[in-house]
A and B are shown apart, each in its own frame.
Chain A
Amino acid sequence: MSKLHISATVNGEAVEYLCDPKQTLLDVLRDELNLTGSKEGCSSGDCGACSVTLDGRLVCSCLVLGVEMQGRSVETIENMASGEELHPLQQKFLEAAALQCGFCTPGFLVAAKALLEKNPNPTETEARYWLAGNLCRCTGYDKIIRAVLETAADMRGSK
């Protein structure tokens, strides 16, 4: 099958790429655009390691076709820090040791950022349910949840 020419917005910048219909958005990000922050865990929408926002909506990029992106906008983990300045969630994950191997971390950060944009003051239960689609096999989640809730409190306090 011939490749399709796709024009999309990736992390605020206009991007064009050639895409085989069978390539997922995750394939395109990693293999065509060299944005390897989004990880491939399960490739079936279960683990959340490939989480991105698509037109502002949190999705698994492994469950989106690259060809679906014509005219659409995606934000990835690569857009989370402002230059050298980490997003408060990134800073807190480091301080609170909310990661071990780090493979799931980009997905957790993207998903947690989407949570705090929608709900700046989540309860622990709300945070756990929101992040239930992000799997971590190292930490047992407590440090991650604590980091998210502490960041939420910090961000509310600084406003």
Chain B
Amino acid sequence: MSGFQYEAPVSVDEAVGLLAGAKGLAKVLAGGTDLLVQLRTGAVQPDMVVDVKRIDELRQISGNAASGFVIGAAVSGSEIGEHAALVKAWPGVVEGMELIGSTQIQGRATPGGNLCNASPAGDCTPGLVAAGAICVVAGPKGRREIPVEQVPVGPGKTSLAKGEFVVALKLPPRAKNSGDAYLRMIPRTEMDIAIVGAGVDLTLDASGTCTHARVALGAVAPTVLLVDAAAKALIGSKIDDAALAKLAAAASAACKPISDKRGTIEYRTKVAGVLARRAAVIARDRARSNG
């Protein structure tokens, strides 16, 4: 690990000033479960590290299901999993976050970090994309809000400009009869990187017909994918076998994966359809019991 300047600002403005004014490479430190490993291996050699965990706004979960939750970017996975109202309203978002690493990693890892580390296989991001979450970005020109799926632009790369960082993730107001789910496939039971991740969020009307759906896939392209064709397969249906088959085909068709030691292109493509279908069934059943 090479030397760097460490800063721990207590306000968003102070953090923006540090990041914007930094000479050389400045990195944002949230939970550090990715960054410290990258520092150690020398993969990243910043001149400045800005620890954002002293900024209150980044460490809180506010709002509620009806108004929309706002999750601070540096809230830990453990804290998200302990937030009963959030778990009830958005179980899929929470289960994506909770799949990241061990108990020890959960004590530190954050949704903002998972998003900005921009691994195609990040487990928290597909659930947020399916949920229609909005990313609040602060920077030298003030704040802007963009859909979560517009943050990663490639493996390890984000659309954030110099001086910008993620403050919070905003979930939309939760409609009645809604449910979400996230599933992932890994080669072992726990503690591994996704071969495929699938997040589904949907809303049913009083007759059980799907009126809203979003489907997101992870680990099957350079970034998380929002698959409109898969969502369209569900909307207007009762999420029956025919609709689920269309959803699975659309999910597989959207994949642009690589082959690596965890899975081949063919396997990832097939599994993406299977997982999207299973996640849709879980989301549907949650929506039915969530009136």
Contact = CB atoms under 8 A, between A and B. Distances in A.
14 contacts: A43-B40, A44-B37, A51-B104, A59-B108, A62-B36, A63-B105, A67-B6, A67-B8, A68-B51, A68-B53, A111-B103, A111-B104, A133-B101, A134-B102
Contact of B4 (A22, A46, A51, A115): A22
Q: How large is the interface on B (under 10, 10 to 19, 20 to 34, 35 or more residues)?
A: 20 to 34
Contacts of A59: 104, 107-108
Contacts of B31: 63
B268 to A, nearest CB: 24
Interface string A127-148: 0011111100000000000000
Given A63-B108, A129-B190, A24 B101 contact: no
B2 A22 contact: yes
Interface of A: 1, 4, 20-22, 24, 43-46, 48, 51, 54, 57-60, 62-65, 67-68, 70, 111, 114-115, 129-134
B229 interface: no
Contacts of A43: 40
Nearest to A114: B103
A26 to B, nearest CB: 10
Instruction: Name the residue among B37, B104, B190 with the largest chain A CB count within 10 angstroms.
Output: B104
Contacts of A68: 8, 29, 32, 51, 53
Contact of B102 (A24, A57, A64, A133): A133
B242 interface: no
B165 to A, nearest CB: 17
B211 interface: no
A134 B103 CA distance: 9
Contacts of B78: 57
A60 B29 CA distance: 16
Nearest to B41: A44
Interface in B1-41: 1-6, 8, 29, 31-33, 36-37, 39-40
Contacts of A20: 3
A25 B181 CA distance: 36
A45 B33 contact: yes
Contact of A65 (B2, B5, B6, B107): B6
Contacts of A4: 6
A63 B6 contact: no
Choose among B37, B78, B103 the residue with the greatest number of A CB atoms under 10 Å from its CB. Answer: B103
B101 A22 contact: no
B36 A133 contact: no
A12 to B, nearest CB: 20
A77 to B, nearest CB: 14
Contacts of A132: 102-103, 190-191
A41 to B, nearest CB: 12
B36 A1 contact: no
A133 B191 contact: yes
Contacts of A133: 101-105, 191
Contacts of A44: 37, 40
Nearest to A27: B1
Interface string B72-86: 000010100000000
B37 A45 contact: yes
Given A22-B3, A45-B37, A129-B103, 17 more contacts: A1-B3, A21-B3, A21-B6, A22-B1, A43-B40, A45-B102, A57-B108, A58-B107, A59-B104, A63-B31, A63-B32, A63-B33, A63-B36, A63-B105, A68-B32, A68-B51, A115-B103
